[in-house]
A and B are shown apart, each in its own frame.
Chain A
Amino acid sequence: MTTDWWQRLHDAGPASTSDIADFATEIRRTTLVTINRAGLGHIGGDFSVTDILATLYGRVLRVDPTQPDWSDRDRFILSKGHAAVSLYSTLALSGFFPMDWLGTFTGPLSALNGHPNRNKVPGVETNTGPLGHGFPVALGCALAAELQGSERRSYVVIGDGELQEGSNWEAFMYGGHRKLSNLTAIVDRNRLQQGDRTENTNSLDPLDAKVEAFGWEARVINGHDLDALYSALTTPSDRPVAVIAETTKGKGVSFIEDRAEWHHKVPSAEQVELALQELGS
């Protein structure tokens, strides 16, 4: 059994840009309600990555929610694991697990805690939460695909603050060295980390030049432009691709957008109402 969303995005032929836009809105609405109910979450980082997730699950990844362990599936890793609720919402809407699991988020013995756990949540490839782990694991997934002669691809989303962890640069270095054209690293470049702007803390610019110097093809795009995302995520390359998705933390809700304090603030009931109005349906 596939969900209505899965049928609309996949079973009825390739999704259109407006299908993906609707899917993204539904992910944001679901995320908002889930966080408010639990009283915990990272809404800023959830909303900045939502269009990326909608594009990946709506029209890029070769995955099957009815067989989450299919061996030749594409691999997707959300390295910035604190954005768990946007991933959970995407996976539930896609049919990887029942929607009503979302209501248990952070509750006693729930499968869904604040950071994704592959042993409890179908569709999750590796446990993330400590920053700087997902990229090397995705690199390993890509090396395995190459060794096994599989066409499957590996994708990882990394926070821009997260890029301050040295492990990412070790992965850039080896991915470039191996010319892993089956690997795509997506940087959620919202220019904010937990406490401040990245450029006030430990600056990353010029990010495109840095990753190019490590042997990657940098694609700098607007991370909320669904067509640009689709093209950046699907156009082949002879090198590993780094999609630098310029995003807005908290995208979609005016009073949440681009503010450090919304890294993990929880919206009140009133704010949820306002936010749902702004998001539309």
Chain B
Amino acid sequence: MTPVLTDCRVPFAHELIDLARTDERVVAVCNDSVSSSNLGEFRSLFPDRMFNVGIAEQNMVGVAAGLANAGLIPFVCAASPFLTGRATEQIKADVAYSRANVKLVGMSPGVSYGELGPTHHSIEDIAWMRALDGLPIVSPADEAQTRQAVRWAAEYHGGAFLRIGRFKVPSVSEGQSPAFHFGIANTVRHGDDVTIIASGVTVSRALAAAELLADQAISARVLNISTICPLDADTVIAAARDTGHIVVAEESVSRGGLGGAVAELLAESVPVPMRLLGVNTFAPTGSVEFLLEHFGLSPEGIAAAALELVGRG
């Protein structure tokens, strides 16, 4: 049976529209990104509550802070590389430092723009945003998590960064209730020999890697980190203590990324052997699948890293 795959921009838009129907404070701000953020329907339903400032990301984030200043709840929706790259200082000063209630929605993060190349890949966004004081980073891994994360963001008072993928993903939340809980990591597979820590598109790949490892009699735990900041320290520390080996698999740079976050935490608590897999150089040309494989983020690549780490590689 082939699993149903979801482009998470679709449930994101549905949920945003649902919220907007009942809460008139909800508005959208974008940068000529109505279609790439899947907000066409939002615009037809709420034309007055959609601010498309044109191709101008710095203005976009500043405008959102001004809207929030009046009690509105702006969702800034733009391709993640341009949102987080071009408008970093607006995010720092106008949102994080000013504690403005702005929801920053980075669309199509990681290498999901494939062949469009490194200018369009958003592999640095987690590192950049994680450096900011008091800015939660949420990275849902599937449709159910996306829906709940959007609801959480609307209720949470303060700035937040959501990463919403376009690369289609299967459900990884079966049996998880709730699918998304802010600040809590989901243990999506139990195991004792090694823990694979993943987020977003790498979660289903980590699960597939765990299957491959099971064939070799290695029991892998898999954590889905949907809240990257603040990191669920209890769950990560327990995993390090229980399994003694940690592999992090993310479609972004390890330096300052999820890998960096896990390493910082464990260095001060339970230092264990680790392997940090990520997109750690500007990518060569290729499709999303090709690139994930190239950077060792295929199930086989993740399993190989785990085997090497537990001394069986």
Contacts and interface: CB of A to CB of B under 8 A. Distances in A.
A147 interface: no
Interface residues of A, number: 32
Interface in A130-153: 130-132
A164 interface: yes
Contact of A128 (B81, B85, B119): B119
B285 A115 contact: no
B53 A115 contact: no
B32 A194 contact: yes
Contacts, number: 89
Contacts of A162: 55
A258 to B, nearest CB: 17
Contacts of B119: 81, 115, 127-130
Interface string A154-171: 000000011011100000
Interface band, chain B:
20 to 34
B91 interface: no
Nearest to A129: B119
Interface string B183-214: 00000000000000000000000000000000
Contacts of B273: none
Nearest to B36: A194
Contacts of A40: 115-116
Contact of B53 (A132, A198, A202): A202
Contact of B117 (A114, A198, A202): A114
B32 A193 contact: yes
Contacts of B113: 114
Contacts of B287: 106, 108
A81 B53 CA distance: 21
A111 B55 contact: no
Given A161-B32, A194-B32, A131 B55 contact: yes
Nearest to A111: B285
B98 to A, nearest CB: 20
A40 B115 CA distance: 8
Given A115-B116, A195-B35, A109 B54 contact: no
A108 B285 contact: yes
A113 B117 contact: yes
Interface centre among B81, B117, B286 (most CB of A within 10 A): B117
Contacts of A201: 32, 52, 54
A78 interface: no
B32 A106 contact: no
Contact of B35 (A106, A109, A194): A194
A132 B55 contact: yes
B116 A129 contact: yes
A38 interface: yes
The 5 closest A-B pairs by CB, nearest first: A202-B54, A129-B119, A164-B54, A114-B116, A113-B117
12 contacts: A40-B115, A40-B116, A106-B285, A113-B285, A115-B116, A128-B119, A161-B54, A164-B32, A193-B55, A195-B32, A195-B33, A196-B34
Interface of B: 32-36, 52-59, 81-82, 85-86, 113, 115-117, 119-120, 284-287, 290
Given A106-B115, A110-B285, 10 more contacts: A108-B286, A109-B284, A113-B115, A113-B285, A115-B116, A129-B119, A194-B35, A195-B34, A195-B52, A198-B54
